[in-house]
Amino acid sequence: MHRYREALEINNIRLTKVLQKMRYVNDIVAVNDPLLWSRLADLTDKSFQRYVKDQSARIMGVIGDDNTIPEIFDFYTRGASLLVSGKSIPGINLNEFSRNLAEGKRPLVFWVENDKDKAQKMSRRIKKQLQQK
């Protein structure tokens, strides 16, 4: 925080008012984003956290200025489910993944329409095809 003290003083921002938000500031955004300090004063804690995360991604080239990827997704697990941005991915059971990896198998991912019947039909076809070999 000491390295940003001068920028805080120049922008008339009191550290006591933004102390919690300062944990999200990183050198990439501090150096390359001229709006950072006004956003620090104006945005809520959560909004500022998202702003810094998005700006970091833009500056590092992960997403473009035109927001071609509008959101950075969070991946995490709950039980045997894989969740992306809080939504469970249907058809993925991490316990099954662990068993198959232990057997020396490798996962392949096929994308199909979000229709349970079509997904099961495709799964049966693939399994049948693999058994024929």
pLDDT tens string 67-107: 555 555 677 788 888 887 778 888 888 899 889 889 998 88
Residue 62: per-residue pLDDT? 58
- Angle, vertex CA 131, rays to CA 130 and CA 133, nearest 5: 70
Structure tokens at 91: 């058809």
Dihedral sign, Cα of residue 22, residue 24, residue 26, residue 30: negative
3-class DSSP state of 78:
strand
Phi and psi at 31, nearest 5°, equal -85, -35
For 15-27, the pLDDT digits (tens) are 888 888 888 888 8
Query: Cβ neighbours of residue 4 under 8 Å, at least 6 residues apart?
Result: 22, 25, 30
Structure tokens at 15: 């550290």
